[in-house]
Structure 1
Amino acid sequence: MKATFLGFNPEYAEAAPTFEEVSQLSGVALLEFGAPWCGYCQAARPAIEEVLNGASELSHIKVYDGKGKRLGRAFKVKLWLTLILLRDGQEVERLVRPVGSDEVRQLVSF
């Protein structure tokens, strides 16, 4: 699957993985739904980067979301920025429009 990084992933991927591919992930992964031009996404980037730079065991998948994008709809994403924590391909928790690193750190503390 493309667009999977261990630790912080700096780029949104146009070609998102399928829901089936995400469901087959093993271990812990963080899905980030947003867009490079989104103000909420840009504002949260430093907090996400700070937390994930110290989380080398965590897969970070940034999905360029938008109208007609299937993965975002499968996860019922309504607002950007949405972070979804997965464990073995299953949603454990989500965080919408985080502001600071403390919120992100609490989400990924596993």
Structure 2
Amino acid sequence: MIKKIDCVMVPVGDLEEAAAFYTRVFDLRRLWQDESSVALGMPETDAEIVLHTMALPSDVNVHYLVDDVLSAVATYAERGAVTRTAPFDIPVGRCAVLEDPYGNPVCLLDLSKARRG
């Protein structure tokens, strides 16, 4: 059910300063921006690096794209995954955080509301 890595969340103190650094140094391009996030694209993938100023747990930074978070959480729970954070709405769809047997987060998201950019 996991389709790909959709985004990597990177906490920053200043969105504009961080975006300028990542675009200048790594040749990334801006895809979209809101009041707490800037998404940057890499040349040969549609995965995003999302610079953000949100208060997210420090270990919740890689998000895997699925078609439907609710369905994915149910399927993975049947297979033994623990749900750390139940599905919740985000601007582009839904998100949930599962946990592997070692306590590592497995963040899922869907784009049920629409992809940004």
Both proteins in one fold, TM over 0.5? no
Using CA pairs under 8 Å that are at least 6 residues apart, name the structure with larger relative contact order, 1 or 2. Answer: 1
Larger helix proportion of the pair: 1
Structure whose alpha-carbon radius of gyration is higher = 2
Q: TM-score, normalised by structure 1?
A: 0.31
Q: TM-score, normalised by structure 2?
A: 0.29
Larger strand proportion of the pair: 2
